[in-house]
Amino acid sequence: MNDAVLPAALQQAVSAQGVLLPVILCGGAGTRLWPVSREQHPKPFMQLADGQSLLQKTFARAAALPGVEQVLTVTNRELLFKTKDEYARVNPNGLPTAYILEPYGRNTAPALAAAALWAEQHVGADATLLVLAADHLITRPEAFAQATAEARVLAEAGNMVTFGIRPTAPETGYGYIEADGHRVLRFVEKPPLELAAEYLASGRYLWNSGMFCLRVDTVLRELAQHAPSVLESLHDCLGASPQIEGAGQMQVELQAETFRYAPDISIDYALMENSRNVAVVPCDIGWSDIGSWTALSELQTADDQGNRVHGEALMHDVHDCYVQSPQRVVGLVGVRDLIVVDTPDAVLVADRRHAQDVRQITAQLKANGHEAYRLHREVHRPWGTYTVLEEGAQFKIKRIVVKPKRALSLQMHHHRSEHWIVVSGTARVVNGEQSMLVRTNESTYIPAGIRHRLENPGILDLVMIEVQSGAYLGEDDIVRFEDAYGRH
């Protein structure tokens, strides 16, 4: 197909269809691209060189498609406000958004079932779902739009459609689809290198992108036939889950008690490999799932020595290395084939050939109870961010940024007291029975055991320094009495 214009017959077929509902699956463990990605800052939130995150690119790409009237996102409850912030920067026209919030991960089939059941109720059984991973990169949006239009025609005929990427190399990190035109012959697991080379040479195989296009009534019918336990568990869960609607947004917070009965299974295993109504759209859309530091590094142009640098690095006799260090200077001498990633609280040094093994480090951190697997030094909250500047025996210093018109919960700490110093902006502070304004260069003291709240009443960010002191400074030493964000 020509990248610029849809064929007339395809244009006519798409215009005759109903609503297209993009469903963005946003989550991840934050293991493969550690230390930049973490459990509470997974790959979709990573910024690329142009300043946009993968999640923002996914939203903008989906919102630009014809027939889209809103976007539905399935994500973890803890990532809701971070996701909303990301969308706000690329949604100037206020396209309505809806959210299905999972208490914990249960793979992609339960997420799809929840989306289909929600869409049946709120959009209609004849709507078409375009299921997209939030952490994929697509560099040819016009080709993607054409592939989506083709997929919608196939979906309208009752097919569950997947997007097959024409392979450019014998990749062993992807699943494959053997296809004859639009007909899927079989799905193949990630092959060894020799078999992947045979697949590439045959011309019959496509990379399995993990993106899907299917009508709501089709996917519900197929779930009932091939994965009834998934459908039944999510039907019960949605029935027990509260829904909140307003200001162009809707959200459903899945009840944890019933959600735990949902089987942990992927869309491929639950449906695509079992159904007889599966089609594929072969396409060349500039797709990558950026599944390792090697894949991410290849987005940049190499210098004459094969090195790629994001940030500042000084090199002597260095070849075929990738360095990401946006905040500090990194020096390399006499090395090759290394990945070096520097963040404020962690550094990764890896052989390029072992880029897929980075997850072993996060597994060790998690086993040891180290917070670096879960959080950055800068931590995002619904009201803004805090950054740990320094900590030691019985003290911790934080930089706190509160967004305009946002407030922290009314809370109390058992084991620590806090000094707050306003750097810029004006804070409204509740300190016990008192309510006061604290302006730039002013401070206040919060004793342990006292109810308190911090609020930014202004139109600019409130920036503060917080000095904590006490016998225990853990983030779990908090009792919330009132909270606008539904936290307990």
185 contacts: CB under 8 Å, gap ≥ 6: 178, 179, 204
Nearest-CA neighbor of 211 among 120, 283, 293?
Answer: 283
pLDDT in tens, 65-99: 999 999 999 999 989 989 999 999 999 989 999 99
- The token duo for 223 is 């779930």
Where are the alpha helices (H) located in 137-274, listed in sequence order? 141-156, 193-202, 216-226, 228-239, 256-259, 267
Q: Which residue has the tokens 């997007």?
A: 163
Nearest-CA neighbor of 104 among 72, 130, 79?
Answer: 79
Give the type of residue at 210: G
Residue 194 predicted with pLDDT over 80? yes
pLDDT of 2 reads: 32
Give φ, ψ of 369 to 5 degrees: 70, 25
Q: What's the rounded Cα separation, in Å, for the pair 42 and 22? A: 21
320 contacts: CB under 8 Å, gap ≥ 6: 302, 305, 306, 307, 336, 337, 352
- Sketch the domain layout of the chain as residue ranges: 8-288, 310-364, 378-482
Q: Which residues pair with 214 in a beta bridge?
A: 129
For residue 314, give the 3-state DSSP assignment. strand
Give 429's DSSP letter: E
Give the E-state strand segments of 154-296 in sequence order.
Answer: 160-165, 176-180, 183-188, 205-215, 243-246, 249-253, 278-283, 287-288
Q: Which residues pair with 428 in a beta bridge?
A: 437, 455
Report the chain's terminal Cα–Cα distance, integer Å.
53
β-pairing, 278-283 with 160-165?
Answer: parallel
Average pLDDT over residues 124-131: 97
Query: Candidates 3.90.550.10, 3.40.50.2300, 3.40.50.300, 3.30.420.40; correct CATH number of 8-288?
Result: 3.90.550.10
Strand order of the sheet with strand 416-424?
Answer: 378-381, 384-392, 395-402, 462-470, 416-424, 443-446
pLDDT in tens, 240-269: 999 888 767 899 999 999 999 999 999 999
Average pLDDT over residues 399-419: 96
Q: What percent of the chain has pLDDT over 90?
A: 82
- Contact indicator for 161, 214 with CB cutoff of 8 Å: yes
Lowest mean pLDDT among 13-27, 50-64, 109-123, 431-445: 13-27
Q: Which residue has the tokens 């308190």?
A: 452
Diameter of the chain by CA atoms? 76
Residue 316's Cβ-count burial label (10 Å; 0-12, 13-18, 19+) is exposed
pLDDT of 1 reads: 31
Residue 95's Cβ-count burial label (10 Å; 0-12, 13-18, 19+) is middle
Q: What is the DSSP string of 101-114?
A: EESS---HHHHHHH
Residue 59 predicted with pLDDT over 60? yes
Q: What percent of the chain has pLDDT over 70?
A: 96
Residue 13 predicted with pLDDT over 70? no
The fold for domain 378-482 equals: Jelly Rolls (2.60.120)
Q: Which residue has the tokens 């016998």?
A: 471
Q: Which residue has the tokens 């084991």?
A: 415
pLDDT in tens, 263-295: 999 999 999 999 999 999 999 999 998 989 999
Residue 486 predicted with pLDDT over 90? no
Average pLDDT over residues 28-53: 91
343 contacts: CB under 8 Å, gap ≥ 6: 35, 36, 327, 376, 377
Q: What's the rounded Cα separation, in Å, for the pair 33 and 290? A: 9
Q: What's the rounded Cα separation, in Å, for the pair 423 and 60? A: 35
Q: What is the chain's length?
A: 488
Q: What's the rounded Cα separation, in Å, for the pair 127 and 115? A: 12
Residue 206 predicted with pLDDT over 80? yes
> What is each CA distance from 106 to 8, 103, 272, 375, in whole angstroms?
41, 9, 18, 21
Q: Which residue has the tokens 């500090």?
A: 328
31 contacts: CB under 8 Å, gap ≥ 6: 37, 358, 359, 362, 363
pLDDT of 28 reads: 84
pLDDT of 17 reads: 65
For residue 354, give the 3-state DSSP assignment. helix
pLDDT in tens, 308-363: 999 999 999 999 999 999 999 999 999 999 999 999 999 999 999 999 899 999 99
- Contact indicator for 364, 358 with CB cutoff of 8 Å: no
Are 8-288 and 378-482 equal in CATH topology? no
Residue 144 predicted with pLDDT over 60? yes
